[in-house]
Amino acid sequence: MKTPGKPSRGSTTGRPIMVLLDVLGKRWTLRILWELSQGPATFRELQRRCDDISPTMVSKRVGELRELGFVTREAEGYGLTLLGHELAQEFISLEAWANRWAETRLDEQGDRK
């Protein structure tokens, strides 16, 4: 498992940011975190929220996220840990930035017409 201080894909230093980017760069990881930031979900609900990804992929990614301390098993299904919620809060800034970027791109496309 990836941990800060140990080499990760793209970085031999093990710098925490590089390890985090490696983990978050895996397919479906960000989507699962995003969906769980909206509230806990059972396995099947999480699978549905993620556009019906395969059960194998849900299991694999949720397992990795649990091992990293971002996801926990709750009575309602899977949910974010305190650390997971803190990480998800960072997504809010990224979402706001992405929306501004999209508006800029749409404005630029509109100027070309």
**Domains of the chain and CATH, by start:** 16-112 (1.10.10.10)
Q: Find the mean pLDDT for residues 73-91.
A: 95
For the chain, give the mean pLDDT. 90
Overall average pLDDT of the 88-110 stretch? 90
Percent of the chain at pLDDT exceeding 70:
92
DSSP assignment of the chain, as one string?
---TTS-BTTBSS--HHHHHHHHHTSTTHHHHHHHHHT--B-HHHHHHHTTS--HHHHHHHHHHHHHTTSEEEETTEEEE-HHHHHHHHHHHHHHHHHHHHHHHHHHHHHHH-
